[in-house]
Amino acid sequence: MNLALNDDFRNNRALFAKRFPDLASLTGLSTDDDAERTKALLPASCEIVPSSSPWPTLSAAGTFVHSRIDPKREAERVLAAEGVFGPDGCLFCGCGLGYLPELYAARYPRAPILIVEPELSVLMAFLASRPLEGLLSHPNLVIVAGIPASEAAAVPERVGLADIASFDSPALVAPNKPWWNEFREVRARMREKREINANTLRRFGDLWLRNMCKNLPHLRERGGIEAFEGFAASLPVLVLAAGPSLDTVLPRLAGLARRCVVVAVDTAVRACLSAGVEPDFIVLVDPQYWNFRHLDSLACPRSVLVAESAVWPAVLRFPCARVCLCASLFPLGRYLESRAFARAELGAGGSVSTTAWDFARYMGADAIYMAGLDLGYPGKRTHFSGSVFEERTHAASSRLEPAETAGFRALTATGLRAASDYAGGTILTDRRLILYAWWFESKIAANPAHPTFTLTPEGVRIPGFGIARPDELDTLPERRGEIDARMARALERPEVSPDDALAFDRALARLVSAVEDIVRLAEKGKRLSEEGMRPGLAGSRRRDIIASLEAIDREILASEAKEVAAMVFSLAPDKTDGNPLEASRFLYEALVEAGNRNLGLISGGKKKN
């Protein structure tokens, strides 16, 4: 690679190292004296080649990724294509010599720009090609290079650009097609996940808010899961999910419990107790009433319940050794925790099983054994024998509506598809469960220190999971006495200090004040919008109103409570008719309603405190 060590390269290197120090260190650009070493280490797969114009072109892996005649003119034609690029930002798939991102940055000086490039050698050629001060000084530029496709695909979401438009040049991605295929696949999965989360928010957002406000006394008084960080160091952890294959493990559960820390999801607790085993930990994070019913009428005086603060309120009254809260998943809880006392965060991949696995990881498990994690329908069954779902369908069955009909409907309503199991066969699953499997796959890859095995290989195969038979665990030493002693010591730790409780009270009062300010601003904005729509209003007054509304918008967007109010606000349907002032009036009206909804529910929750 003809990496010319000229002034352009040196200046670009200095700008790049200042903007992206971690990436500069990775590429060997972090110091002034290592350019020759960097040049020697780079592969010869990239070559900067003169074109017929003053602008160089690039050959990567034997393929020209820009025009050999005039690469800059080529980029100008692409940028001019109507409807392709806009001011809201762009993800450029492939860097090349950066002609198109450079022109885009000049046209949209405030738009977010994300450049993703799998090959560090291409990035180096980019920096060596010509002066790049305009692009590298762009205030909203992010460059991702030289990392696995799955990690690169997660960057847009991590930097708040999950829905950014992308431009995919066939020439730029051609030298590394497998990488880009994986990148697209992971982005598609993440988009599916966001769609599911958005639909879930529309369906359950108000329920989450109502539950959390009713649970405010528990947020103030319950401790977090921090007492159990490292709890399972040097110990195996058995995580029990509630798939049909759990039936195959239950007969051996008592023996497994003598050797492993037992973590059960809420839907599997009844099965545990029927097998004579009280789990060490129960994980429940779903806010719905029916998740509470999985624990209804049960008692686990030796178990620790790990819950999220928006669960159905009766869950937090479950008779057990202690209730511990993980970090909240929702704006109201996050606001209070960030200003009072933080709680440890657990992963949420859409299923309680993902949270239970992540809790085992948080405890420092030596190995994690999963049972009943089918993520599909082995034998065309949906739940283990005796589950709440199964018992409910039997109780509601009749001659014309037998339990089998309810099971068939539950199975066929999900949009079935085939997937591989661990034995090379096939199992029926659906899109939602496949996303859960992908979550496990990505987390296993990121956490190799916690090897994970399935005891029930009839489920959907998850890359990274090993296979273990339940009888193989009989060779593990019995550790129940040690586990119980660790539990007793952990439960001796106090839950919340008086100072923490006082900090919570202050944070709640601050939140109420901030939401009241949002309501006041939105009410003012609504009045101004209505005035601006009056027929015959002087143009100068309308311009003043628009300026005032812009000031109100800035103040609302600067509020520390905007996300709390927006959780319910985002549920409101859009009734605008294209009139900007009418759209503003509707938005302010919806925001007033959302703010008052928050204030009313918070007030009701405080009365219980």
Q: Residue 454: its pLDDT value, please?
A: 95
Strand partners, 92: 115, 167
Which pLDDT belongs to residue 26? Answer: 60
How many other CB atoms are found less than 10 A from the CB of residue 40?
9
Residue 264 pLDDT grade (very low, low, confident, very high; cuts 50, 70, 90): very high
Amino acid 395: pLDDT:
44
What is residue 43's DSSP assignment? -
119 pLDDT exceeds 90?
A: no
DSSP 607: T
pLDDT attached to residue 41: 45
Query: Does the structure show a pLDDT above 90 at 579?
Result: no
CA dihedral 525, 528, 532, 535 (to 10 degrees): 130
Higher pLDDT, 367 or 434: 367
Average pLDDT value for residue range 238-258? 95
More confident residue, 241 or 43: 241
> How far is it, in rounded angstroms, from Cα 68 to Cα 51?
5
**Position 273 pLDDT exceeds 90:** yes
Output the pLDDT for position 120. 82
Tokens of 192: 């599916």
Model pLDDT, residue 573: 47
Mean per-residue pLDDT of the chain: 84
Q: Give the residue with greater pLDDT, 201 vs 118.
A: 118
Highest mean pLDDT among 203-212, 301-310, 376-385, 535-544: 301-310
**Domains delineated in the chain:** 7-189 (3.40.50), 228-380+408-491 (3.90.1480), 498-606 (no CATH)
Q: Which residue is associated with the tokens 């994070």?
A: 285
DSSP state of 421: B
Supply the pLDDT for residue 436: 85
Per the model's pLDDT, the better-predicted residue between 154 and 29 turns out to be 154
- The pLDDT-based confidence of 3 (bands split at 50, 70, 90) is very low
- Averaged over 47-55, what is the pLDDT? 86
In 195-330 the beta strands, taken as DSSP E runs, fall at: 236-240, 261-265, 281-284, 300-307, 320-325
Q: Is it the case that residue 48 has pLDDT exceeding 50?
A: yes
What local confidence, expressed as pLDDT, does residue 567 receive?
67
pLDDT in the model for residue 195: 74
What are phi and psi for residue 421, nearest 5 degrees? -95, -175
pLDDT, position 1: 43
| Residue 350 pLDDT | 74
What is 11-52 written as a DSSP string? HHHHHHHHH-HHHHHHHT-SSTT-HHHHHHHS-TTEEEE--S
Q: Please report which helix (H) or strand (E) contains residue 370, including its range.
A: strand 367-371
For residues 496-513, average pLDDT: 92
Contact 462, 440 (CB under 8 A): yes
SS3 at position 63:
strand
Task: Inform me whether the pLDDT recorded for 248 exceeds 50.
Answer: yes
Q: Say what the pLDDT of residue 33 is.
A: 47
Selection from 121-135, 313-327, 328-342, 564-578 with the highest mean pLDDT: 313-327
Q: Parallel, antiparallel, or unpaired: how do β-strands 57-60 and 63-64 relate?
A: antiparallel
Q: DSSP secondary-structure letter at 114? A: E
- Look at 381 and 239; give whichever has higher pLDDT: 239
Integer Cα distance of 293 and 288 in angstroms: 9
Asked if the model's pLDDT at residue 483 lies above 80, the reply is: yes
Q: In DSSP terms, which residues pair with 320 in a beta bridge?
A: 300
What whole-number distance in Å separates Cα of residue 482 and Cα of residue 518? 53
The confidence band for 171, taking pLDDT boundaries of 50, 70 and 90, is confident
Whole-number pLDDT of residue 547 = 92
What pLDDT sits at residue 36?
54
Residue 411's pLDDT is 53
Structure tokens at 548: 């005032």
Q: Is pLDDT of 38 > 80?
A: no
Amino acid identity for residue 85 in this structure: F
Residues 111-132, mean pLDDT to the nearest whole number: 87
Q: For 320-343, how does the pLDDT look when each residue is reduced to its tens digit (9 = 90+)?
A: 999 999 999 888 888 999 888 889
pLDDT of residue 401: 55
| 3-class SS of residue 606 | helix
| 16-30, 60-74, 257-271, 518-532: least confidently modelled range | 16-30
Q: What are the tokens at 100? A: 């198109």
Give the mean pLDDT of 453-468: 94
Q: What are the φ/ψ torsions at residue 578 (nearest 5 degrees)?
A: 95, -15
Tokens at 249, concatenated: 């493990």
* Alpha-carbon span 591 to 580, nearest angstrom: 16
**Do 488 and 268 touch, CB atoms closer than 8 A?**
no
Please tell me what DSSP assigns to residue 88. T
- Mark 213-223 as b/e (b = at least 16 C-beta within 10 Å): bbbbebbbbbb
Instruction: Give the tokens for residue 216.
Output: 């405010």
Question: What would the mean pLDDT of 405-416 be, rounded to a whole number?
Answer: 55
Which pLDDT does position 514 carry in this prediction? 93
pLDDT over threshold 70, residue 213: yes
The three-state secondary structure class of 281 is strand
Number of H helices, E strands in the chain: 24, 17
Q: Give residue for tokens 């030289």.
A: 146
Across the range 290-306, mean pLDDT stands at 94
Separation of alpha carbons 526 and 530, rounded Å = 6
Tell me what pLDDT residue 475 has. 92
* Structure confidence by residue, pLDDT tens digits, 391-401: 455 444 454 45
pTM: 0.75
Residue 355 CB burial class (10 angstroms; 0-12, 13-18, ≥19): buried
The predicted structure's pLDDT at residue 157: 84
Q: What is the pLDDT of residue 351?
A: 84
Would residue 80 be called left, alpha or beta, if left means φ above 0 and alpha means ψ between -120 and 50 degrees?
A: alpha
Give residue 30's pLDDT band: very low, low, confident or very high (50, 70, 90). Answer: low
Higher pLDDT, 160 or 555: 555
